[in-house]
Structure 1
C-alpha cells in the first residue's frame, strides 16, 4: 500500500544510519536541531525488509569480521580437536558473527532511537532529490518497523511517499564492495561462485551474491576446496587469514592474488603481512593480476588465469577489490541539487561541504583520501560535519583528521599511523629524519610467548625528525599493534618527541615496551639527547644544542 502525505519541514536531514550517520544525527539532535534520520532498508528472506541501523560496520564488516577472527584463532590453536570434532569451524564462525551483530544491534535499538527527542527516524524503500531541492522518500509506517515480526503485517507492508525540505542535508550513505565487471562476467559464465565481504559476513544466507552456491545457509561460506581471494588490501588479509585457519580441518586451500599487499604502506609492513599469511597456509600470488576464469576443463576443474599465464585451481572466488560509493549515490539523483560526484565519492572541501552549499557528505561516500577511510575516522567526520554545517563560518574547521590510525586486524595485528618512510623521505630528504626498527624476536616477551603465538613477523618501526625528535609516524606488527599505534597517534596529535615517549615509563614486559625501546634508542643517540635526560639544566642545554644543530643544518642545506 502506498499513500502520499504533505511535505514535512526539518532543520537537518541525515541520509543513512551508518556509524557516521548515527553520530551526525545524534550530534545535531543534541544541539537542539530537529533532525530526520533516513535509512534505506535491505531485504531479507522472501524480500521481507530488514529494519537495522549501523551500516556495513555493524552488519557486514567491522563487527562480524572480528567475531570470525576470534573463532578462527581458536581453530588455529593446537589441541583444538575436541571442538572441531563436534562442530564445523565455518558453522561456529557464522554463529559467533551473528551473535556479535545481534548484540550491537540491541545497543543500537531502533525503538530507542525513535524515542530520542528532536530526532525522527524513517526507514525507506528508496529516496532521491527532486529538482526543487527537496528529498523525496518512500517510507514505511513506524508501526511496521517498530513491530518485531514484520511478516505478520496484513495486506502487505504499508508505505507512504513524503517530500522533505531541510536547512541542511548530510549524506552518509557509505560504500559497498566493488567487483571488476570483466571478472564478474567471467565468474558467471564459468559458473564459479563468487562472494564479497558482505555476502560472507552479513548474517543470513539471503545476502549471498547471485553467483554463489551454498551447502548450508548456517555456514560462513559453505564447503569449498579451492578459495581464491582477489585483492591485497585489509579485507583480503583479514578474511584470507580467517578462512585459512577455519579451513585447516578440511584442508581447504586459500590463495591471495594481488599486484601487492597493503598498497600505500611501507615495505616492512607489507613483508610482515606476507610472512604471517604464509605462516597460516595462504598461497600468495603477488605482482600479478587476475585476468579470466576458465569455463571448465574436460575433467570439470575450473581455473583462474593470471597475468603471467599462471593457472590456479578455483571453485570459489572472493572479491576484495576495494569499495565504492557509486551504487549508494546513483539513486539519489544528486545532479538535481548540484552535487558533483564520481566513483571515488562526492566532491567535498576541507569542511566536507559539497558543491551544493546546504549539503555535506561524510564517511566513505565523501571523496577523501582512500587511506583515511576507516571506521573511526568516518565517525569523526560525521561529528565535525555537523559543526561546520550549523556553526558560524569563523568557527568552522577542517573536518578530516590529520592522523588516522590504520589497522589490519590479522593475528598478529598490523598497524601504522602518520607519515610512511616514503613520505618522510619526500618531505625531509635523505638524512632529514631518523628511523629505528625493533624486532620482537629475541626479546624477553617473545621468548615467554613463543609456544603460544607466532612472533617471527612482529616489530615496531618509529620515524622521527632528525634534530627536533618530533615523531612523524610508525608501523607495527604484533598482538597489540592497534593499541600501540593509538599511543603513536596521541604523540602525533600533540607533537610529542621521542624524548617525551622515552621519559614515559612503560610496564615491563608489555607489548608497548617495544615502542619505549624505539623511542629511547632515538632519544639517546647523540649528546643533545643524553643531556635531555639529565634534569632541568640538562634539558635546557640539550635544547640549545639542538637549536645550534638546526641552524647548522639549514646553513648547509641539509634540512628543512
Structure 2
C-alpha cells in the first residue's frame, strides 16, 4: 500500500498540471490514468489531434485556393488521408510522451489503470489500494448524445470517431453547430466532403456574440459548409455505410431528412465519472450532473477536491489547468485563485474566432452602460496580405470608466490575439491603455489597438 499527500485521478490538462504543481510545492504526488498514454481527452482524442487535422486541411485549402494568387504555380497537391492520419498520430505521440517526461521529471508516480475512490483518503487502482491525504478528481468529460441515437464510431460518430475515419467521406452531417461540430466540419469540408450542419437553435455557436456568429456562419458557408438551423433531430437511421438524419423544422413543424456517409454527433459533452465511487461516499452533484464544489474546489466529502470538466463552468482545457494549479496551492496551504471572468474561448476554424468577458447581449441584459470599439481586418495590411480581411475586432468597454468588459474577434490568429485583452482585463486596464501601447507594424495585433482607439476619438485606419 502506497501513501501520498495527493492522488490526482485523471491525466488531462487539469489533472497533469495539478500533479506537477503539487510536486513543485513539495507534496508527494501520484496520478491515476487508465489510458495507455497520459494527457486525457485533450491530447489523445480532442484538442491536439483536431488541431493537427485543422492545420493539415488548412494547408491543403491554401495550396488549392490561394497559392496561384501569390504566384506559386504547379500541380495542386492531392490528399493522402492515411499519411495525414499518421501525421496526426505523430503529433499526439510527441505531446503525450512529453507529459510522461514531465511526470518523471517531477517524481510523480503514474498509477496505471482506472481509479475508484473506495473510502475517504483511499483510491483503488486495479487490485492495488493507495492512501492519500487529499484526492483531486480530474476525470474530465465524454461526448454526450441525443436520445435514440446509437453511436458506433464508424457511421454515426462522436468527435473521437471523427478523428479516426479511415477515409474522407463524400458526405457528412454534423449534428450541433458548436465548437467541435464546426471545427471537425471545417476539416472535412476543406478535404472535399459535402458537409451539412444541423442545429436546433436558429443560430450557430450558442452563447457567442451574435454579430461574430453571423459572420462566422457566412464565412463557413463560402467555404462550402451548409447549414440547417432551427431543426430538432428526431432520429438517425444507420446502415453499414450510410445514415439518414431525420429532423423537424421548428418554425413550421415540417419533417425532413438528409442522407450522409457519416453522421457526427457534436451535441456537447458530459462529466465522465464511470465507476469513480464518488457517489458511493455521498458526494453531492449539481442538477446537471456535475460535481458540486465550493470556491476552493472542495467537495462535500472531506479531503476530496474536483476540477475541470466534472465541475461547473466552461469545459475548456485551459480553465481546467488554471483550476489544477489553484487547487494545488490550496492543498499546500496557500491561496489558489481563478478569475472566471477572464477565461478566453477560441474556435480554431479559419478564420479563427476568440472571445473573453461579456458579450453585447449580456451587457444589455444587465443594463450596463457601455461603448463599442470596432475595427475590421480589411483595414489591417497584414490580414489583407493573407486573404483574411473579412473579420473584425469588437472591444466592449464601460462607458464611464473606459474599463474593458469584453472582447470578441474573428480573423487571423484570433486565438493568440485575444490574450492581449486577457492580460489587460486581469490588470483592470482601460481601452485607452491598449490604445496608447505601441504595436509592431505590420502585425495582426494592430487591429486590437485600432479597436481600442475606436472606443475613444476613433480608429486611424477605419
- Say which of 179, 204, 208 aligns to 1:265: 208
SS at match of 2:340: coil
Q: Which residue of 2 aligns with 1:438?
A: 375
Following superposition of structure 1 onto structure 2, how do residues 539-550 of structure 1 map, counting pairs within 5 Å?
none
Any idea what the Cα deviations from partners look like across 1:419-457, whole Å, max 9, x if unmatched? 11122223344xx110122222355445x42xx42433x
- Taking structure 2 as the reference length, the TM-score comes to 0.89
Question: Shift of the alpha carbon at 1:398?
Answer: 4.2
- Say which of 261, 274, 280 aligns to 1:315: 261
Any idea what the Cα deviations from partners look like across 1:397-436, whole Å, max 9, x if unmatched? 444533001111111100000111122223344xx11012
Q: Tell me, yes or no, if structure 1 residue 286 matches structure 2 residue 219.
A: no
Distance, in Å, in 2 between the alignment partners of 1:221 and 1:269 is 34
Distance, in Å, in 1 between the alignment partners of 2:342 and 2:77 is 42
Distance, in Å, in 2 between the alignment partners of 1:116 and 1:279 is 48
SS at match of 1:281: coil
Q: Which residue of 1 aligns with 2:16?
A: 22
Q: Tell me, yes or no, if structure 1 residue 453 matches structure 2 residue 387.
A: yes
Whose Rg is larger? 1
Q: Which residue of 2 aligns with 1:421?
A: 360
Any idea what the Cα deviations from partners look like across 1:265-312, whole Å, max 9, x if unmatched? 11111112201211110011112121123468xxx9753122122221
Distance, in Å, in 1 between the alignment partners of 2:30 and 2:96 is 20
Distance change >3 Å, CA 285–CA 63, structure 1 → 2: same
Q: Tell me, yes or no, if structure 1 residue 241 matches structure 2 residue 186.
A: yes
Distance, in Å, in 1 between the alignment partners of 2:422 and 2:243 is 47
Distance, in Å, in 2 between the alignment partners of 1:99 and 1:439 is 37
Q: Quick check: 1:172–1:364 contact (8 Å CA) kept in 2?
A: yes
Larger helix share, 1 or 2: 1
Following superposition of structure 1 onto structure 2, how do residues 370-449 of structure 1 map, counting pairs within 5 Å?
370=314, 373-391=315-333, 395-399=334-338, 401-429=340-368, 432-441=369-378, 443-446=380-383, 448-449=384-385
Q: Which residues of structure 1 form unaligned runs of 5+?
A: 1-6, 42-49, 139-160, 206-219, 526-560
Q: Which residue of 2 aligns with 1:537?
A: none
Distance change >3 Å, CA 513–CA 266, structure 1 → 2: same
Q: Quick check: 1:352–1:399 contact (8 Å CA) kept in 2?
A: no
- Taking structure 1 as the reference length, the TM-score comes to 0.74
C-alpha RMSD of matched pairs (Å): 2.3
Question: Shift of the alpha carbon at 1:106?
Answer: 2.9
Q: Quick check: 1:19–1:378 contact (8 Å CA) kept in 2?
A: yes
SS at match of 1:473: strand
Q: Which residues of structure 2 form unaligned runs of 5+?
A: 68-73, 250-254
Distance change >3 Å, CA 131–CA 12, structure 1 → 2: closer
Number of paired residues? 441
Any idea what the Cα deviations from partners look like across 1:169-200, whole Å, max 9, x if unmatched? 0111111111223122xx77xx9811111123
Question: Shift of the alpha carbon at 1:113?
Answer: 2.7
Q: Which residue of 2 aligns with 1:304?
A: 245
Distance change >3 Å, CA 338–CA 388, structure 1 → 2: farther
